[in-house]
Every structure is written in structure tokens, then in C-alpha cells.
Amino acid sequence: MSRKRTIRLAGAVLLATGTATALATPSVANPQTAEADSPKPVASAAMAEAMQRDLGLTAEQAQTRLAQETKARNAEDTLRQSLGNSFGGAFFDAERGKLVVGTTDASEKSAVRSAGAVAKVVPNSKQELNAAKAELDRMEGSAPDSITGWYVDTRSNSVVVNVNKTKRDAETNKFLARARSVDESVRVEQVKRSPRTLYNLIGGDAYYMGSGGRCSVGFPLQGGGMVTAGHCGDTGTSASGHNQVHMGYFQGSSFPGNDYAWVSANSSWTSKPWVNMYNGYARTVAGSQEAPVGSSICRSGSTTGWHCGTVEAKNQTVRYSQGAVYGLTRTDVCAEPGDSGGSFISGNQAQGMTSGGSGNCTLGGTTFFQPVNEALNAYGLQLATN
């Protein structure tokens, strides 16, 4: 691998939120009357409206981009398998409207182009980058508090280590020197803030834990229940809905290490394949196909509502005060306290549940989510889908 120049790292923050598909309307509604009171099934114009606001697109551009990203998702799935060990990662290039696919083998460029993607010869395979990132994961226990996390950056074909610039000291520099020695692909970027868990008792489409605090629904499940953020509750914790009516119990929870959980729901609650868009409408969930880096993505949360942005990186390690979480996805979507556990969706495909981040929805920020498929696979669950 070739030596990459050093840059400075970014930070993260945990955010408690959730989106209730099978939810009641944006105003508090009884779950038994959700059929009548729930947001109307998705209006694509409403999604386009949020993308216009947050991504600076026209309505036509938003629809075009969603179509382009559907093709990009399919192309990434195909090329990841066909390129094998030479696959160097992929990301959606919004300016070109195409997927850019890295390959360490120049002879594969024509195959990439044949799949409708842009070929880019890179020094490191995705497998090599993941191996370097895994080595950093093994060093997590010795990292100082100033180190906020690390992730594979497919755009630059490197592994980025994030450091809080306000806490950088001699111990930090020693760790960074060790991190750089792991592989030439490792580089450093600085950020202004460190991650933290956030529980904010604000009304809306929320649920409440018997142990205290409030989070929000992530994605409803077939057969009842939901997935949400693991830091919201331990296994056995009771949960009540937005109207304080008992819902169920945390049947499984993993945090730190991961940040996912699943919560059972009793007969008072009906799962619907929707994500609340906080405008009287809901986005319908059709599946959970993973979106490429560079894709547009939207988030639903009970504090800040519906906001959109872009997938920046995958497989991020984030160091919260409670411990490190591995394999998160990094976005530039804003979020605030009270948004943890909420839905991330790209097009009509579920992506994950809000974990944490930094910044806010006034100035912008970075938000991380726990990929939903990992949670579904861990517990043998299926999403409620259209």
C-alpha cells in the first residue's frame, strides 16, 4: 500500500431518537387508533422536498438522484462480488450521477464500466483497508480519550483516524504514531467534539424506558416489535410507547461494541412499514438493501424531525465514553439530543438506526448509524415492509 499524507480527524456523538413506522401521527396518538391516525403512506414529493432543503436539489434533481442511486446500489452489489479481492470500495458521485468503483487491477476497468460504473484504479483493496481498520480496532483499549474513532474512507482509499483537537496531547501523538505505523493507508483528521450519549425527554414519536429516559422507534418488525439503538436500554428493560402505554421489553441489546437492540410489542401496537417524515406523511420501507457511500440518505427523529444528507463512509469505529462501537456508518445528516435510535433510510431502503454524532441541525454536523441488517441478522428478525 502507498503512504498517504496525514490529515486531521473527525468526531462523533450518540443521539437518542427513533422513527415509528406503525407509529402514530406526528402528534401523540393512541396506538390502537394508529390505522386512522398514522401518517399517510409515503409521498415521494415529500421526500424530494426534504432532499431539496438539505441537499440543495430541485424536485426534478431529487427524483433523478434517487433513480441513479437505485442503479448504483445494484451495481455495487454486482461488482463487489465479481471483482473479488481487487474490489477497492465504491461511492456514489453525485456530480456524475454514477457509482465510482475502485479496483487494484487496471485490467478490470472495462468490467466496471460495463456494469454502468466509473472505474478508478486504487492502491488498496477494500479487504486491505478493512484489515488495517481491524488492526486499529485491536488497539482500541490503549487509545486515549482524545481519539474519537476511525473508519474506512472509500473516497480517498484510506483509513481515517479521528482526534478531538481540543484534547490533543503527547499521549495522543504517541497513539497516532502507532496508528500510522499499522499501514500506509492510515491518515489523521481532527474534529472539534467527542461523542456522547444523549437522552432528551421531549414528546413526539417516542418510547420511554422503565429505567428512565426516552428514545425513539427505529424500524418496526414483522410479527411485532422494533429495532432501535442498543444504548437506549439493557435486555429486560421495559418500554412504553409515546403515549406512556406499555409496549414490551428489550429482548436483546448490544452496546458498546455494537449499538442495536430489539424490543417486543404487545397486541396494542401494530407494525407498519413506514418512517415518519414529520409533515403528515410517511416513507414506506420496501427492504434493507445497503446504499453505497455518496448516496443521499434521510433520517427521522423525534427531536429534529426529518433531515437528509449523504453517506460519507462505512465501517467507522466510534469511541463513546461508554466504550467503542464498531462498524457504524458515517453521514453528514444533522441530529440532536433525543434523536437516538431513529430511522435512516435511502430511497425506500432501510439503512440503520441513529447512534450518535456531533453538531446540530442549526449549524450541521456528523451523525453515525448502526446498520440495520446487522441487527436483523443478529436476532433473526425481519422488517415490516410494503
Angle at alpha carbon of residue 107, lines to 103 and 113, rounded to 5°: 70
Q: What is the pLDDT of residue 44?
A: 66
Q: What is the pLDDT of residue 1?
A: 39
pLDDT tens digits, residue range 33-58?
Answer: 233 344 443 336 778 888 999 999 99
Q: Residue 307: which of 283, 273, 274 has the closest Cα?
A: 283
For residue 15 the three cell numbers come to: 443521539
- H helices of the chain, in order, are 34-37, 44-55, 59-83, 109-114, 126-138, 170-182, 372-379
Greatest pairwise CA separation for the chain in angstroms: 61
The residues near 379 (Cβ < 8 Å, ≥ 6 apart) are: 251, 252, 262
pLDDT tens digits, residue range 201-239?
Answer: 222 368 888 988 888 889 999 999 999 999 999 999 999
Look at strands 349-360 and 214-215 and give their pairing. Answer: unpaired
pLDDT tens digits, residue range 339-373?
Answer: 899 999 999 999 999 999 998 999 999 999 999 99
Label residue 14 by pLDDT band (50, 70, 90). low
pLDDT tens digits, residue range 165-207?
Answer: 999 999 999 999 999 999 999 999 999 888 765 432 222 368 8
- Residue entry with cell 437522552: 199
pLDDT tens digits, residue range 265-274?
Answer: 888 888 888 9
Label residue 20 by pLDDT band (50, 70, 90). very low
How far, in Å, are 215, 255, 263, 267, 305 from residue 209 at the CA level? 8, 16, 11, 18, 21
Mean pLDDT on 122-150: 97
Q: What is the pLDDT of residue 197?
A: 54
Q: What is the C-alpha to C-alpha distance for residues 50 and 231, in angstroms, rounded to an integer?
A: 28
Which top CATH class is 126-191?
alpha beta
* pLDDT(28) > 90: no
Q: What is the C-alpha to C-alpha distance for residues 116 and 283, in angstroms, rounded to an integer?
A: 28
Choice among 153, 183, 231, 332 that is catalytic: 231
Helices 170-182 & 126-138 angle (0-180, nearest 10): 140
Choice among 259, 271, 343, 358 that is catalytic: 259
Mean pLDDT on 292-298: 96
> What's phi and psi for 35, nearest 5 deg?
-60, -40
Q: Residue 372: which of 249, 274, 290 has the closest Cα?
A: 290
* pLDDT(26) > 70: no
Asked whether this chain's domains 126-191 and 196-385 adopt the same fold, the reply is no
Percentages (nearest 5) of helix, strand, coil residues in the chain: 25, 35, 40
The residues near 13 (Cβ < 8 Å, ≥ 6 apart) are: 193, 194, 195, 196, 198, 356, 357, 358, 359, 365, 366, 367
> Which amino acid is residue 19, in one-letter code?
T
Q: Residue 100: which of 84, 89, 111 has the closest Cα?
A: 89
Q: What is the mean pLDDT of the chain?
A: 86
> Which amino acid is residue 138, in one-letter code?
R
For residue 1 the three cell numbers come to: 500500500
pLDDT tens digits, residue range 329-338?
Answer: 999 999 988 8
Q: What is the C-alpha to C-alpha distance for residues 381 and 219, in angstroms, rounded to an integer?
A: 11
Residue 166: Cβ within 10 Å count: 12
Residue 55: Cβ within 10 Å count: 18
Residues 339, 16: contact at Cβ < 8 Å?
yes
Q: Residue 136: which of 316, 369, 10 has the closest Cα?
A: 316
How far, in Å, are 150, 184, 351 from residue 171 at the CA level? 17, 21, 36
Q: Active site includes 77? A: no
Q: What is the pLDDT of residue 228?
A: 94
Mean pLDDT on 28-32: 25
Choice among 300, 340, 346, 358 that is catalytic: 340
Q: Active site includes 242? A: no
Q: What is the C-alpha to C-alpha distance for residues 79 and 152, in angstroms, rounded to an integer?
A: 18
Per the model's pLDDT, the better-predicted residue between 256 and 338 turns out to be 256
* pLDDT(17) > 60: no
- Residue entry with cell 487491477: 105
pLDDT tens digits, residue range 66-84?
Answer: 999 999 999 999 999 999 9
Rg of the chain taking only CA atoms, in angstroms = 20
The percent of residues above 70 in pLDDT, for the chain, comes to: 86
Q: Active site includes 307? A: no
Query: Which H/E stretch holds residue 374?
Result: helix 372-379
Q: What secondary structure letter does DSSP report for 113?
A: H
Q: What is the pLDDT of residue 338?
A: 81
CATH topology classification for 196-385 = Thrombin, subunit H (2.40.10)
Q: Residue 188: which of 9, 314, 4, 1 has the closest Cα?
A: 9
* pLDDT(23) > 50: no
Q: What is the pTM of this model?
A: 0.74
Per the model's pLDDT, the better-predicted residue between 196 and 285 turns out to be 285
Q: What is the pLDDT of residue 19?
A: 32
- Structural domain boundaries of the chain? 56-121, 126-191, 196-385
The architecture (CATH level 2) of 56-121 comes to: 2-Layer Sandwich (3.30)
